[in-house]
Each structure stands twice: as structure tokens, then as C-alpha cells.
Amino acid sequence: MNKEARPRNKVQESERALSALDRIDRRILNLLQRDARMTNEELAQRVGLSPAPCSRRVKRLRQEGYILRDVALVDTAKTGHALIAFVSVELDRQREDALAAFERHISTQPEVQQCYFISGESDYLLLVSCRDMEHYNDFVRDVLAREHNIRRFRTSFTLRRVKYDTAVQIEE
């Protein structure tokens, strides 16, 4: 690929990847995001294909990285992890090696469900799932308080989940 054809940023990369998909590929992705247990026969019928070409498309979408994995979404309250915290983390040093070290460390913590490198006053936003306040306190003391590069962190706890969706709506 020549230099001019290479995407210059993530937005261009995303637009190029999306433009490589036709209407049927996009429909497949939208449907599977809602129900990954749907049979290939049902999926094929809903997108207007016969089963074999539909199966080949799904396989290609997996191989090309559009479909990352299939998961089961569990109810956090029913599984004993009812306390959800959003933690804003500000680091002392933002050198690449310091950022990478923080990301490696935080990625190993089972309580951290999501971690985003963000712009603004904080460097990272964590979504942390714990059983209760005591569990969260243990997480803070064992993980955050021992991380020498954290200048400060601020926590907001959820009072009630208003919306929860994992699907990314892809324009068909």
C-alpha cells in the first residue's frame, strides 16, 4: 500500500473498514450483535441469502476482525457484583513507558471491566465491578493505592443503570 492510500488516523481507518462492507455484511453484524446464538439458517433468511453464502460471510467477518468474539452477557447483580464504579485516574507521568506500564497492570485486574485512555482532566476512565463497598475498598488499597504513578483518582458509583447496550449500530 502506498503512503497516500494509508489511513492517517483512526477515523479514516474506521471509515475505510466500514466502506469495505456491503449492506448484507452490515445487516449480519447488526443482527449478530443482538443475538449471537441465532442459527445460520435464521440469519441467512433474515439477510436474504442461502445458508452457505451466509456462513462464508460470517466466517470472513470473523477472519477480518469485524467479529471479535461471542460472549454471554450476565446480570451483574445476580452474579454478586452489584457495585459498579466509574474511576477517573490521573497519572503523575504520561511518558509512553509509564502509560504502557499502567495499562499492563490495570488490564490484569479482574474487577476492571473496561479501561479507556481519555482526554481531559484525567488520563484514564475505569469501569470497575465489585461485590460491595468492602470489595471496592480492597481493590482501591490493593491496586490503586499501590500504583506509584497515580497522582489521584476519583470514583463515582452507579445509583441505577438507565441503559446498558453492547451493540454498535452499523448503518445499513
Looking at residue 169, what DSSP letter applies?
A: P
Calculate helix-pair angle for 51-63, 40-47, nearest 10 degrees: 100
Residue 4's pLDDT band (boundaries 50, 70, 90)? very low
| pLDDT tens, residue by residue, 29-53 | 999 999 999 999 999 999 999 999 9
Residues 103 and 109: beta-carbon distance below 8 Å: no
Average pLDDT, whole number, for the chain?
92
98 Cβ contact partners less than 8 Å away, ≥ 6 residues apart:
91, 92, 149
Residue 3's pLDDT band (boundaries 50, 70, 90)? very low
Summarize the confidence of residues 117-125 as an average pLDDT: 97
pLDDT for position 1: 43
Ordered structural domains, the chain, with CATH = 9-63 (1.10.10.10), 83-157 (3.30.70.920)
92 Cβ contact partners less than 8 Å away, ≥ 6 residues apart:
98, 149, 150, 151
For residues 12 and 107, the model is more confident at 107
Summarize the confidence of residues 76-91 as an average pLDDT: 94
In whole angstroms, what is the distance from residue 167 CA to residue 69 CA?
A: 13
- For the chain, the first-to-last Cα distance in angstroms comes to 28
Buried b (16+ CB within 10 A) or exposed e, 130-159: beeeebbeebbeebbeeeebbeebeeeeee
Widest distance between CA atoms in the chain: 57
170 Cβ contact partners less than 8 Å away, ≥ 6 residues apart:
18, 21, 26, 29, 30
Residue whose grid cell is 468492602 = 134
Residue 77's pLDDT band (boundaries 50, 70, 90)? confident
pLDDT for position 15: 66
For 5, phi and psi rounded to 5 degrees? -80, -15
Question: Is the confidence at residue 147, as pLDDT, over 70?
Answer: yes
In whole angstroms, what is the distance from residue 17 CA to residue 110 CA?
A: 31
